[in-house]
Amino acid sequence: MKVLCVTGMPGCGKEEFIRVATERGFPVVRMGDTVREEAARKGIGASDEAIGGFAHAERERFGYGIWAERTIPRLRGDRIVVDGLRGSSELESFRKRLGEGVEVVAIYASPKMRFERLRQRKRSDAPATWDEFLVRDTRELRWGLGDVIATADHLIVNGGDLTEFRVRAKEVLESVLGGSSHVP
């Protein structure tokens, strides 16, 4: 099994990378879906603060690899993209259970660019202020996200040119997961 785990700070471009992967025919599993479904099952609210707090509490209670462990049963097929890797414990869980076929692509964008992207999305979990943005970043960095980004197998800098980013995303997908069933 070949698994490409996608990571990066909120607003960096992970969604666009996932869009490219989907267009190329790669199956995608979102770790955030695992978190949101478990939160809904337990009656947790849908705000970023509620979901983030729940995810953190579960990490504290069961270990920082818990969301990877809960996501692994969803992985099917011989090549897959996993969205939402948040820390080295999660990566360790994937590699322990799935072996050497696990690679990481980190996507980077500047904090100011990410803040503006998050605000433009107008999603319920978007930060309304710079301070809210910093709180979210701090929470995610506390989970070990910076370590995973720093040690990623592949890095894509998403500085604003969408066409260039999509080309780079395709190159990484093809180099790790091979051919796809769709034509670009």
Considering its fold, how many domains does the chain have in total? 1
Question: Is residue 165 in a domain?
Answer: yes
Beta strand segments in the chain, E: 2-8, 28-30, 79-83, 102-108, 154-157
Question: Is residue 183 in a domain?
Answer: no
**Domain range for 115:** 2-177
Question: Is residue 182 in a domain?
Answer: no
Which residues, other chains included, contact 104 with Cβ-Cβ below 8 Å and sequence gap of 6+? 4, 5, 6, 7, 85, 91, 148, 151, 152, 153, 154
Q: State the pLDDT at residue 10.
A: 92
* Domain containing residue 118: CATH number: 3.40.50.300
pLDDT along the chain (184 residues), means of 10: 96 96 95 94 88 92 96 95 94 95 97 94 84 92 92 94 95 85 46
Per-residue three-class SS string for 115-142? HHHHHHHCCCCCCCCHHHHHHHHHHHHH
Q: At what angle do helices 130-142 and 48-62 cross, to 10 degrees?
A: 20
Q: State the pLDDT at residue 183.
A: 41
Question: Is residue 16 in a domain?
Answer: yes
Question: Is residue 128 in a domain?
Answer: yes
Q: What average pLDDT does the structure give for the chain? A: 92
Question: Is residue 78 in a domain?
Answer: yes
Q: What are 74-112's pLDDT values in tens digits?
A: 999 999 999 999 999 999 999 999 998 999 999 999 999
Question: Is residue 141 in a domain?
Answer: yes
